[in-house]
Amino acid sequence: MAKTSPPVHRAPLLAAAVAGLGLLTACGTDGGTVDAPRPSQVDRATHTDSGTDGTPASRSVPSDSAGSASASARTDGRCHTSELRASVGRLDPGAGQRNFPVVLTNTSDRTCTLYGYPGAAFVDASGRQLGPDPRRAPASPETVTLPPGRSAWAGLSFASPEISGARTATPATLLVTPPDERDSLEVPWTAGAVPVGGDESSVSVTVLEAGTGP
């Protein structure tokens, strides 16, 4: 009589395979677009120093995520922090106002897009935030397409402290966070004192639009 092979218990193996597939799917899921984080919540530990010419440097990408960041840059239309350079343009004085264009320039070799408001925060030399986050000026954002080398800007405004009488401090740096990004860019602040007093910020920021400012 022919020998009969003992039955193979495949159920546990099948369950383990299904569980493994679910884990891989969760790890590969893109979280989608989110609002730019409050700059005060950004971990500033990985900031690099700015160059002597005032050109800000982006935060370093952790080595264990460098590969995934490169893959994302090839497939995601959004501009990432590592692909941008931030700068602050010339003061544009108004009636009792101080207005500055905050400029983001595409330094990558691909075309990418920006949409919405940048995050902004004044910090002192130790990295401590001075005053609350700027409020967002009401507007209807539009997608700004940036080919390599092109720029977008947002207006950063506040009442002249001499007129408003607000409590002030002199920042060392302006942190700029591109829309939907978590890492910030550092820009040396050389424009003097800014208002930091009160329960609500008297600093405002506008939506991004194409160009480098007025």
The DSSP result for 147-186, as a single string, is -TT-EEEEEEEEE-HHHH---EE--SEEEEE-TT-S--EE
Torsion of CA 127, 128, 132, 135, to 10 degrees: 0
pLDDT given for residue 23 in this prediction: 37
Statement: residue 26 has pLDDT above 90: no
pLDDT given for residue 115 in this prediction: 97
Kindly report the average pLDDT of the chain as a whole number. Answer: 75
Closest by CA to 179, choosing from 83, 79, 82, is 79
Per-residue pLDDT, averaged over 152-167, amounts to: 89
pLDDT given for residue 92 in this prediction: 86
Round to whole Å and give the CA distance between 24 and 21: 5
Q: H or E element: which one contains 66? A: helix 66-75
Round to whole Å and give the CA distance between 125 and 128: 7
Q: In this predicted model, what pLDDT tens digit does every residue of 112-148 receive, in sequence order?
A: 999 999 999 999 999 999 999 999 999 999 999 999 9
Q: In this predicted model, what pLDDT tens digit does every residue of 171-201 receive, in sequence order?
A: 999 999 999 999 999 999 999 999 998 655 6
pTM of the model: 0.64
